Amino acid sequence: MSEIRIYRRPMAARWWARNPTYRRYMAREASSFLLFAYALTLIYGLWRLGQGQAAYDGWLTWLASTPALLLHLLMLIAMVVHAVTWFEVAPKTMPKTGLPERAITLGGIAAAALGSLFVVALAIWWGAWR
Amino acid sequence: MSERRIRIEGLRYNPEKDTQPRLQTYDVPFTDDMSLLQGMQYIKDHLDGSFTFRWSCRMAICGSCGIMVNGNPRLSCETFLRDLLPGPVRVEPLENFPIQRDLAVDQGRFVDTLASVKPYVVPAQEKPLSAGPHRQTPEQLAAYYQYSQCINCLLCYAACPQVGLNEHFVGPAALTLLHRYNADSRDVGWSARADVANSEGGVWGCTLVGYCSQVCPKAVDPAHAINQNKAKSALDYFGLRSLLGGAR
Amino acid sequence: MKRSNEPFFWLLFGAGGMVAALIGAGLVLVTGLLGPVNLIVPGRAIDYAHAHAFAAHPLGKLALFGVIALILWHSVHRMGEVLHDAAHIGAAVPLRIVALLATLALGWILLAI
C-alpha cells in the first residue's frame, strides 16, 4: 500500500492583506507603532522641559514645523483608529451583559470623544486662566 | 431557454501521484436553487468521478462540507451558485490544515486539541443515578447554550491566522467548548481546564482577529467565548481563582 | 502545559489601551496640533511656564508618568504581535526591555523637573 503523502500549504507571506477583516485587524494592530512614537515624543519633550527654558522653547519651535505637524496628524489618526477599534472589540472581552454589542461599542466611542474633548477643554482652561 | 453555466475551479491533489496541488476547471450547468455542494456533486457525477470532497447532511448541521470558496471559509451546502455569479468559483481545502486529497483535509490537529480541553461535564460532585437528573434554570442554560451549538465544521480554524502561525494554539472551536463546559452549572468550572486555558496555546494564543466569529455558520461567536476568559486567566494568574464565581 | 506569563503584560496592555482610547486623541491635539500653532488651545497652555508648572507638581508628575508609561506598555505589546503576525519574528522580550528602559528614563526625567 503506497504511503499517503499529505500536502502542507505554506501560509501566505501577506495573509493579512487578503480580506477586509484581516486588513482591518492589521490596521488596528499597526496603529500601535504610532502610539509608541507619540509616547516617545512626549518623553523627549519632557526631557527638553527639564533642560530649561531655552531648550524647551527650541522644542516648541520644532513642534510648530511642518514635519512635526504632519507626524502629529498621523499620530492623531492612529489614536482615532485605536479608539474606534478598541471599542469595537471590547464587547468580546467582557462576559455577556445583556446589552447589545453595538451599544457597548457606541457608548465607548462616545466616552472617548468626551474624554478627548475634556482634555482639550482642560488645556484651554490651563492656558487661559492659569 | 439556454442552460446557464458557471465555471468552478477546484484544487486537485492526488497523494499517490502528485507532488503538489493544481487547479482544474469545470463548466457546471446550474439553476438558481443549486448550492455549491450540488455543483460539486454534478462534477463528480457527470464530469470527473475522481473529484473528492466531504459532505453529508446538505443542511448545515453535520459540519462535514467546510471548504474555502474564493478564499473564504464556507459550508458548500450553504453557499449558493447564484450568489457566486458570474464566476469562476475557486474551491480549495480549508486553510491551515494539511491536504489529504483534493478538498479533503487532515483534521487530526483539531481532534487532538479537542480531547485536551475535556469537552464533557466534569461534575462538581459525583451524584448516584438514584439522585435523579441535574436540573437547570433557563438562566443556567442560557449561560452556555450558544456555545454548545458548534458543529465542529472547522471554518473557524481556517479563518484564524493564529492557527496558521502558532502550531500550539488550541484554536477557536476547542476553546469555545472549554468555555461551554466551564459555564455549565453541572460542571466543576474553571479549575478542570485551567492548565489548557492558561497556556500560550490556550486563550493567550488569541489576538482577537475576530474572523472566526464572522465565518461561524451557527453564530457560536468563538471570539467572545475565548476573550471573556482572558480576564479570568489573569485573575487565576494572580492567585484570585476564588473570585471566578462557580469555579472550584 | 506551560503556564503563560502573558496575563501580567496583558493587564498593562489593557490599561494602556483604555487610557489611549479615552484621552489619546485629545492629548495629541493639545500637545502636537492645536497648542503649538495657538489654534483653539492657546499656545500659553504648553509654554515653558505652564508646562513646567504642570510637570513640577507631584500630581502632574503622576499623571504624566501614568499616562505615558501605560501607552508605552500597551503599544509594545501590540508591536510584538504585529512582528509575530506579519514577519514571524518573536520580538516580545526585546520590546519589553525597550519599554522598561523608556519607563525608567521617563521616571528619571520627571523626577528631575
In the predicted structure, residue B53 carries a pLDDT above the cut 90: yes
What is the nearest CA distance from A83 to chain C, expressed in angstroms?
4
pLDDT tens across the length of chain C (113 residues): 788 889 999 999 999 999 999 999 999 999 999 999 999 999 999 999 999 999 999 999 999 999 999 999 999 999 999 999 999 999 999 999 999 999 999 999 999 98
pLDDT in tens, B173-226: 999 999 999 999 999 989 999 999 999 999 999 999 999 999 999 999 999 999
Q: How confident is the model at residue B244 (pLDDT cuts 50, 70, 90)?
A: confident
Q: Based on DSSP, count helices (H) and strands (E) in chain B, helices before strands.
A: 9, 7
What is the nearest CA distance from C8 to chain B, expressed in angstroms?
7
Q: Is A64 exposed, middle or buried (0-12, 13-18, 19+ CB in 10 A)?
A: middle
Span A45-49, average pLDDT? 97
Residues B33 and B123 in one domain: no
Q: Answer yes or no: do B210 and A91 touch at CB < 8 A.
A: no
Interface residue of B74, B228, B244 to substitute, partner A, most A CBs within 10 Å: B228
Cβ density class B16-40: b for 16+ within 10 Å, e for less: eeeeebeebebebebeeebbbbbbb
Residues B146 and B134 in one domain: yes
Residues B223 and B116 in one domain: yes
Residues B154 and B222 in one domain: yes
- Cα B213 from Cα C81, distance rounded (Å): 20
Residues B128 and B231 in one domain: yes
Last residue in a domain, options B105, B126, B159:
B105
Of A7, A92, A96, the CB nearest to B210: A92
Residues B182 and B150 in one domain: yes
Neighbours of B127 (CB within 10 A): 12
Counting other chains too, the contacts that A1-5 makes at CB distance below 8 Å and 24 or more residues apart are A2/B16, A4/B15, A4/B16, A4/B100, A5/B15, A5/B16
Residues B37 and B134 in one domain: no
Neighbours of chain C (3+ CB pairs under 8 A): A, B
Q: For position B11, which CATH number holds?
A: 3.10.20.30
In the predicted structure, residue A1 carries a pLDDT above the cut 70: no
Span B82-101, average pLDDT? 96
Span A73-80, average pLDDT? 98
Report pLDDT for B246. 57
Reading the block at residue B220, the C-alpha cell is 457560536
Q: How confident is the model at residue A54 (pLDDT cuts 50, 70, 90)?
A: very high
Which amino acid belongs to residue B26? Y
Q: How confident is the model at residue B28 (pLDDT cuts 50, 70, 90)?
A: very high
Span A99-114, average pLDDT? 96
Span B156-167, average pLDDT? 97
Residues B97 and B131 in one domain: no
Q: For position B233, which CATH number holds?
A: 1.10.1060.10
For residue A86, which of C74, B235, B156, C26 has the smallest C-alpha distance? C74
In the predicted structure, residue B92 carries a pLDDT above the cut 70: yes
Reading the block at residue B25, the C-alpha cell is 476547471
Whether the ω angle into residue B88 lies within 30 degrees of 0, i.e. cis, is: yes
In the predicted structure, residue A29 carries a pLDDT above the cut 60: yes
- Asked which of A56-65, A67-76, A115-124, B126-135 is least confident by mean pLDDT, the reply is B126-135
Span B236-247, average pLDDT? 79
Residues of chain C contacting residue B198, judged by C-beta atoms under 8 Å apart:
1, 3-4
Tell me which residue range forms the domain holding B97. Answer: 5-105
Q: Answer yes or no: do A4 and B15 touch at CB < 8 A.
A: yes
Interface residue of C9, C12, C19, C22 to substitute, partner A, most A CBs within 10 Å: C22
Q: How confident is the model at residue B245 (pLDDT cuts 50, 70, 90)?
A: low
Residues B89 and B184 in one domain: no
Q: Quick one: closest CA in A to C40, which residue?
A: A124
Strand partners, B199: C3
Q: Answer yes or no: do A127 and C113 touch at CB < 8 A.
A: no
Residues B126 and B213 in one domain: yes
CA B36, B41, B42, B48 torsion-angle sign: positive
Q: How confident is the model at residue B243 (pLDDT cuts 50, 70, 90)?
A: confident
Bridge-based pairing of strands B5-12 and B89-92 is parallel
Residues B112 and B205 in one domain: yes
Of C28, C82, C112, the CB nearest to A72: C28
Last residue in a domain, options B51, B75, B105:
B105
In the predicted structure, residue B1 carries a pLDDT above the cut 70: no
Last residue in a domain, options B105, B125, B141:
B105
| pLDDT top residue among B116 and A98 | B116
Which amino acid belongs to residue B42? Y
What is the nearest CA distance from A48 to chain C, expressed in angstroms?
9
Report how many domains make up chain B. 2
Span A5-31, average pLDDT? 95
Q: How confident is the model at residue B248 (pLDDT cuts 50, 70, 90)?
A: very low
In the predicted structure, residue A3 carries a pLDDT above the cut 70: no
Residues B228 and B156 in one domain: yes
Report pLDDT for A98. 86
In the predicted structure, residue B2 carries a pLDDT above the cut 80: no
Compute the mean pLDDT over every residue in chain B, rounded to the nearest whole number.
Answer: 94
